Amino acid sequence: MTGEEARHRLEPLIGRELGTGDWSTLSIERITMFGKAVTQSGEAVPAMLLLSLIPGLTATIKLPVDPPRTTVNYGLDMCRLVTPAREGDRIRARTTLLGIEDGGGWLQVKRRVILENEAGESLLEAETLTRLFW
């Protein structure tokens, strides 16, 4: 598959939800490993920990194109902490395709990623940029 073929497949999906990822639990061990030990049960989870989980939580949400040769996390256009997460929360990612940019040798995908808990509350919203090379 070429970048142009991928662009033609992805263009009709702009503005549509791509899916949700698997649930993951915010355990005290994970929080402690991140270097921000929680001293009391129920203390808020660090926002940077949530942000660092985005690649893993979105890994199961596949784009409907052949896998690229290389994928590069190009950064964020926006990131907002909406509601604090708590130790023990089960969270998952929900993604929406916002746009694509054809750079000639690469295709850049912009997605809205919402990390949500089981109550359906948005915890973090980010617009991610990923460059795909075929």
Residue type, 131: R
Reading the block at residue 9, the tokens are 């497949």
Which pLDDT does position 38 carry in this prediction? 43
**CA dist., res. 125 & res. 111, Å (int):** 10
Worst-scoring range by mean pLDDT, 12-16, 33-37, 93-97, 105-109? 33-37
**CA dist., res. 101 & res. 63, Å (int):** 15
| Residue 81, helix vs strand vs coil | strand
Q: Tell me, what CATH number does 50's domain have?
A: 3.10.129.10
Number of domains the chain is built from? 1
Domain range enclosing 12: 3-133
| Residue 41, helix vs strand vs coil | coil
Average pLDDT over residues 85-96: 94
**C-alpha angle 57-97-16 in degrees, rounded to nearest 5:** 110
**CA dist., res. 52 & res. 126, Å (int):** 11
Q: What is the pLDDT of residues 1-28, one digit of tens each?
A: 777 888 888 999 999 999 999 999 888 7
Residues with Cβ within 8 Å of residue 39, at least 6 apart in sequence:
none
Which pLDDT does position 107 carry in this prediction? 95
Q: What is the pLDDT of residues 40-55, one digit of tens each?
A: 445 556 778 889 899 9
